[in-house]
Every structure is written in C-alpha cells, then in structure tokens.
Amino acid sequence: MRLTANRIAGILRDKGHKLTPQRHAVLKAIAASNDHLTPEEIYERASLNSPGIGMVTVYRTLNLLCDLSLVCRVHASDGCRGYMMRRPTEHHHHLVCSGCGRVCDFTGCSLADLEQRLTEETKFDIGGHLLEVYGRCPDCQPAGSV
C-alpha cells in the first residue's frame, strides 16, 4: 500500500509534529509524483500551493520524513538525491538506471548474515542498511545486449 499525503499528515500529527501549510505542500508535491523528485523539483511543486515556502523548509521536511521512514531517498549515480513516498511500505531497496535515472523498488534482500559478520568484526551496532544497485534499464541498454 502506498502512503498518501493525508496518511503521512496523520502520522506526523500522531507523532507530535506540527503540520504546517508548508509541510503539507511538500507532502502533496511528493505524493502527486510516481517518480523520485529532487529537492529542487519538490520546492518548485510545493511553491505552487505555498508561494512563501523556502528551500530550508523543504530540506527540513524531507529530513523529518526520512527519519520517520515515510519517504525514501535515492542516491542517483550523478550524486543527486531523489525522494518519493515510501512504496512498498516494507523494507526495500532500489535498482537505479545510470542512463535515464529510472528507479525500481525491490524487496527480499538477505543481508542478515553480512550484518552479523560486520557486527562481529567491527563491533558496530548496526541499525539498518541501504542498498542501491546501479545498471541500465532495458530502454537504455544498447540494442542486442542482455
């Protein structure tokens, strides 16, 4: 089930966070897209509903939403970050096309053994992981490859 702006607004309120008009504009901008958006794209879309919004508000809202695992962040191969509503809502990872930037979500990674080994070797208390796999989607592959 995909999260919506209204569901996330309710979660924010339940967790004691204010839902300002600016935050709601950011939520609506992200929820209206099926693609990962850069902070600048979110700002442009949010400013249509909230003309006085600033980039700092966009970044703070994105950080809050990421901290609460309500949106997911993708690190594109060009170094830019993209954000979108968490979909699927369970733990997932990303396949990122290094040609067009298309992102596909996937679930079912089995990194528990690796995390255990790293904990034993480094004494880190591992709280989670982020996995992004880069390659070329079928549309960006040269003809005849695969």
Domain boundaries, the chain: 1-89, 90-146
Is residue 23 a contact partner of residue 58, using CB atoms and an 8 Å limit?
Answer: no
- Is the pLDDT confidence value at 43 over 80? yes
- For the cut 60, the answer to whether the pLDDT of residue 93 exceeds it is yes
User: What's the predicted TM-score (pTM) here?
Assistant: 0.66
The pLDDT, as a whole number, for residue 2 is 61
pLDDT for residue 51: 92
pLDDT of 56 reads 96
Q: What is the 3-state secondary structure (H, E, C) of the chain?
A: CCCCHHHHHHHHHHCCCCCCHHHHHHHHHHHCCCCCECHHHHHHHHHHHCCCCCHHHHHHHHHHHHHCCCEEEEECCCCCEEEEECCCCCCCEEEEECCCCCEEEECCCCCHHHHHHHHHHHCCCCCCCCCEEEECCCCCCCCCCC
Class of domain 90-146: alpha beta
- Taking domain 1-89, whether its CATH number is 1.10.10.10 is answered by yes
Residue 45's pLDDT band (cuts 50, 70, 90): very high
3-12, 69-78, 79-88 — most confident range: 3-12
pLDDT value for 90: 64
The pLDDT of residue 144 is above 80: no
pLDDT band at 106 (very low <50, low <70, confident <90, very high): confident
Q: How confident is the model at residue 42 (pLDDT cuts 50, 70, 90)?
A: very high
Task: Output the pLDDT for position 41.
Answer: 92
